[in-house]
Amino acid sequence: MASAERPTPAAPFDPMMGRLELIEPGIAMFHGFANVAFAYGRGEMLAVDTSSRTMGAMAVKAIREITDEPFAFLIYTHGHGDHAFGTDAFLEDALSHGFRRPKIWAHEDVSGRFHRYAMTRGWQSHINQLQFGARAPVDGIFDEKSFRYADLAYRDYQTLELVGEAVELHHARGETDDATWVWMPTRRTAMVGDLIVSSMPNTGNPNKVQRFTLGWAEALEAIARKKPRYVLPGHGPAYRGEDACQELLLETARALRFIHDEVVRRLNAGQWPVEIVEANIELPADLAAQPFLAPIYGCVPFVVRDVIRYYAGWWSGEPSAMFPATRRDRAADVIALCGRDAVLARARALRDEGELQRALALAETELNADVSDREAMDLNADILEKLAARERSFIARNFFSGAARALREGLK
Ligand SMILES: [Zn+2]
């Protein structure tokens, strides 16, 4: 995930938020909006991720209650703000204890991500405010000065030594292109960042850059081959026991491969992106019933979009969408044919039948024809609020709520 600085109503899936979970002696995980995994007990420790700018200090305070060891390494699992922006608290901890500064490790593409964030900081601030349902803008956190770049970067694979103990860094492309999963062979513990998010993996995020559905599945299969006893994820609870970890990793991979393969099959059969979206691909029932694949953050339709985008271009396949008439012109034509009142009446009837997407399309048509139509604004907001109320995906729900809120603000 990539959080705004104020992910206020977040934490839809973590009752442990703000607390440290002891996994076994020497392994712990702080539950933040994004988690921080710790390995300690041999004289020095490492942290996998540093959480967000606001939660990094909480993570440090929590681990300091159980160990005085210096941090040897901080490892970013990827460059998202909820995982890598809490670093200052860890560096200040080293300073205040008189320890040497920990070495920060990351995949080589994390620095490119930070540069991109700084270049597009206005956009980043805007979309993250909406995605995380924050009430206030999140200005400032995507500035160049917010990031602590890694001291050391690697490309495919890297081994570190923590007081003589091997620590493996593996590159993956899943939620991001710059992902690292950490494997500690002697502890049989995988610290995997957002390769596990305790939800349907959120490839195909509506406003973010390309993600990697197939690469994500391959990474989970590679982690499963290590036979971990513990999987410490980027969000949500720790997974314990070899069987539970195998099921989590391999079933999540199977779900991603299922969607990936279904989209590819349809592309190869000559279907256009719009046809594939309208086919409403669903997971097999046994996968859909898995609690760790619940569509509470990402959801299957978003994954479908990710796979389409990875292999196809931007065009939906609709001839009218190649050089589209403006929304205003198209809407005005419909209103001229049907009449405003009939369109709004039909939208209300569809809303009352629970056909919310169709109701929204019609209500939006009138609003596109006349942006000052207060009745249409109110109806649009009402339908969006109903959509938000029944939506399980945190991301989609926040976008519906944010759009409704903007309309309500306009009505004041
Ligand atoms: Zn992330």
Q: Write down which residue in 221, 252, 283 finishes a domain.
A: 252
Output the CA 197–ligand 1 centroid distance in Å. 9
Q: What is residue 133's predicted lDDT score, i.e. its pLDDT?
A: 81
Assign 10 a pLDDT band (cuts: 50, 70, 90). very low
Output the CA 245–ligand 1 centroid distance in Å. 20
E strand segments, 223-356: 230-233, 239-240
Q: What is the pLDDT of residues 307-323, one digit of tens each?
A: 999 999 999 999 999 99
- pLDDT exceeds cutoff 80 at 84: yes
Q: Write down which residue in 252, 272, 296 finishes a domain.
A: 252
Do 233 and 363 fall into the same domain? Answer: no
E strand segments, 86-229: 103-107, 152-154, 157-162, 165-172, 179-184, 189-193
The candidate with the shortest Cα–Cα distance to 1, out of 293, 202, 147, is 202
In a domain, 159, yes or no: yes
Output the CA 78–ligand 1 centroid distance in Å. 7
Do 228 and 347 fall into the same domain? Answer: no
Do 210 and 337 fall into the same domain? Answer: no
Output the CA 175–ligand 1 centroid distance in Å. 6
| CA 91/CA 362 separation, integer angstroms | 54
Do 80 and 194 fall into the same domain? Answer: yes
Output the CA 221–ligand 1 centroid distance in Å. 19
In a domain, 10, yes or no: no
- Percent over 70 (pLDDT), the chain: 96
380: enclosing H helix or E strand: helix 374-390
- pLDDT exceeds cutoff 70 at 12: no
Output the CA 49–ligand 1 centroid distance in Å. 11
Output the CA 112–ligand 1 centroid distance in Å. 15
In a domain, 12, yes or no: no
Mean pLDDT within 376-394: 97
Output the CA 194–ligand 1 centroid distance in Å. 5
Q: What is residue 213's predicted lDDT score, i.e. its pLDDT?
A: 98
Do 143 and 231 fall into the same domain? Answer: yes
Do 225 and 370 fall into the same domain? Answer: no
Q: What is residue 141's predicted lDDT score, i.e. its pLDDT?
A: 79
Work out whether strand 71-75 and strand 103-107 pair parallel, antiparallel, or are unpaired: parallel
Q: What is the pLDDT of residues 36-64, one digit of tens each?
A: 999 999 999 999 999 999 999 999 999 99
The CATH number given to whatever domain includes residue 346 is: 1.25.40.880
**Tally of domains in the chain:** 2
Higher-confidence residue: 13 or 228?
228
Output the CA 234–ligand 1 centroid distance in Å. 8
| CA 30/CA 37 separation, integer angstroms | 6
Q: What is residue 11's predicted lDDT score, i.e. its pLDDT?
A: 45
Domain that holds residue 31: 20-252
In a domain, 284, yes or no: no
Output the CA 193–ligand 1 centroid distance in Å. 7
Output the CA 83–ligand 1 centroid distance in Å. 7
Do 248 and 374 fall into the same domain? Answer: no
364 contacts: CB under 8 Å, gap ≥ 6: 380
Q: What is the pLDDT of residues 91-139, one digit of tens each?
A: 999 999 999 999 999 999 999 999 999 999 999 988 888 888 877 666 6
Q: What is the pLDDT of residues 151-191, one digit of tens each?
A: 999 999 999 999 999 999 999 999 999 999 999 999 999 99
Do 226 and 366 fall into the same domain? Answer: no
Q: Write down which residue in 217, 252, 287 finishes a domain.
A: 252
Output the CA 84–ligand 1 centroid distance in Å. 9
| CA 335/CA 341 separation, integer angstroms | 9
Mean pLDDT within 239-267: 98
Output the CA 401–ligand 1 centroid distance in Å. 22
Output the CA 398–ligand 1 centroid distance in Å. 17
Do 240 and 351 fall into the same domain? Answer: no
39: enclosing H helix or E strand: strand 36-39
Do 78 and 226 fall into the same domain? Answer: yes
- pLDDT exceeds cutoff 80 at 140: no
Q: What is residue 13's predicted lDDT score, i.e. its pLDDT?
A: 63
The CATH number given to whatever domain includes residue 104 is: 3.60.15.30
For all residues of the chain together, what is the average pLDDT?
94
In a domain, 371, yes or no: yes
Q: What is the pLDDT of residues 277-289, one digit of tens each?
A: 999 999 999 999 9
Output the CA 74–ligand 1 centroid distance in Å. 17
Output the CA 239–ligand 1 centroid distance in Å. 19
Higher-confidence residue: 5 or 300?
300
Kindly tell me the burial class for residue 348, based on how many C-beta atoms sit within 10 Å of its own C-beta (0-12, 13-18, 19 or more): middle
Do 51 and 176 fall into the same domain? Answer: yes
In a domain, 257, yes or no: no
The candidate with the shortest Cα–Cα distance to 263, out of 194, 216, 309, 322, is 309
In a domain, 230, yes or no: yes
| CA 153/CA 334 separation, integer angstroms | 56
In a domain, 260, yes or no: no
Give the highest mean pLDDT range of 12-16, 340-344, 391-395.
340-344
Output the CA 124–ligand 1 centroid distance in Å. 14
Do 98 and 233 fall into the same domain? Answer: yes
